[in-house]
Amino acid sequence: MEKKKIISKKSEPTVRETLAVLELGGSSHLVRKGTPLTVHRLPIKEGTRVKSKVTVLEPVLKEGTVTYKLVEHLKGPKIAVMKFKAKSRYRKKRGFRAQLSKIVVEKIET
């Protein structure tokens, strides 16, 4: 009986996408190129491109910039808030919709 030689396949190099930590509206988002994000409303017009300083994670931690485009302003889902007091017929209803902005990351530079 012949012994079979095990030939290991060469692993193909993987393409790593550059990641960055983008801070907008008091929250941090881990983004890569082409990532669509919904964030708290930004005080800029639709279609505007913005450059922002960020921390880039690939291959090591560095300072860099992210360019993103504001696609549209929109509203979040409606939330109903109720107040109620028993036996006194006191009822109040208020609604709330978060003001949001949708952005798309276009470029990450180190």
Would residue 13 count as lying in a domain? Answer: no
The answer as to whether 5 is a domain residue is no
Domain that holds residue 57: 20-73+100-109
pTM of the model: 0.73
Q: What angle do CA 9, 15, 18 make, to 5 degrees?
A: 155
**CA nearest to 22, candidates 13, 14, 31:** 31
Task: Give per-residue pLDDT as tens, 57-94.
Answer: 877 888 999 999 999 999 999 999 999 999 999 999 99
**Residue 25 predicted with pLDDT over 90:** no
Residue 90 lies in a domain: no
- Contact, 14 vs 72, CB < 8 A? no
For residue 96, what are its two tokens?
């709330």
For the chain, what is the domain count?
Answer: 1
